[in-house]
Amino acid sequence: DIVMTQTPLSSPVTLGQPASISCRSSQSLVNSDGNTYLSWLQQRPGQPPRLLIYKISNRFSGVPDRFSGSGAGTDFTLKISRVEAEDVGIYYCLQTTQFPWTFGQGTKVEIK
């Protein structure tokens, strides 16, 4: 199975300041079709997960443009340009290049 490792596991951020989360996979996520199936999910307290970013850098419908994704191969990053109060929650990276799907441990974003 592909192991997904996120850092940091906790990220206290000041409102209006940027935040960054890293995700590393134990092997390349490049699929045989040429796509890299690395996604980022947000889970607000008491809510189901919600897709933010898919295929490394594509924002899902309705996702604010302060969220951006980047990376390649085995190293990926989610950035929030200016954290807002509604961004509090746990963020997960997810690889769907091969079965079984595997998730990072989650990064808790909270306001300082």
Partner 1 sequence: EVQLVESGGGLVQPGGSLRLSCAASGFTFSRSWMHWVRQAPGKGLVWVSHINNDGSGATYADSVRGRFTISRDNAKSTLYLQMNSLRAEDTAVYYCVRDWFGEYVWGQGTTVTVSS
Task: Return the number of the residue (81 or 106) whose C-beta is nearest partner 1.
Answer: 106
Cβ distance to partner 1 smaller for residue 55 or 66: 55
Minimum distance, C-beta of residue 36 to partner 1, in the bound complex (Å): 9
CB of 20 to partner 1, least distance (A): 20
| Angstrom distance (rounded) from CA 95 to CA 5 | 11
- Which residues in this chain contact partner 1 in the complex, by CB under 8 A? 35, 37, 39, 41, 48-51, 54-55, 58, 60, 92, 94, 96, 99-106
Q: Which residues pair with 25 in a beta bridge?
A: 4
Query: What's the CA gap between 86 and 106, in Å, rounded?
Result: 17
CB atoms within 10 A of CB 66: 15
Nearer to partner 1, 101 or 112 (CB): 101
Minimum CB–partner distance for residue 82 and partner 1 (Å) = 25
Q: Which residue, 21 or 41, has its beta carbon nearer to partner 1?
A: 41
Pairing of strands 107-111, 10-13: parallel
Q: Contact, 42 vs 66, CB < 8 A?
A: no
How far apart, in Å, are the Cα atoms of 94 and each of 1, 15, 17, 54?
Answer: 13, 26, 25, 9
Cβ 61 to partner 1 shortest distance, Å: 8
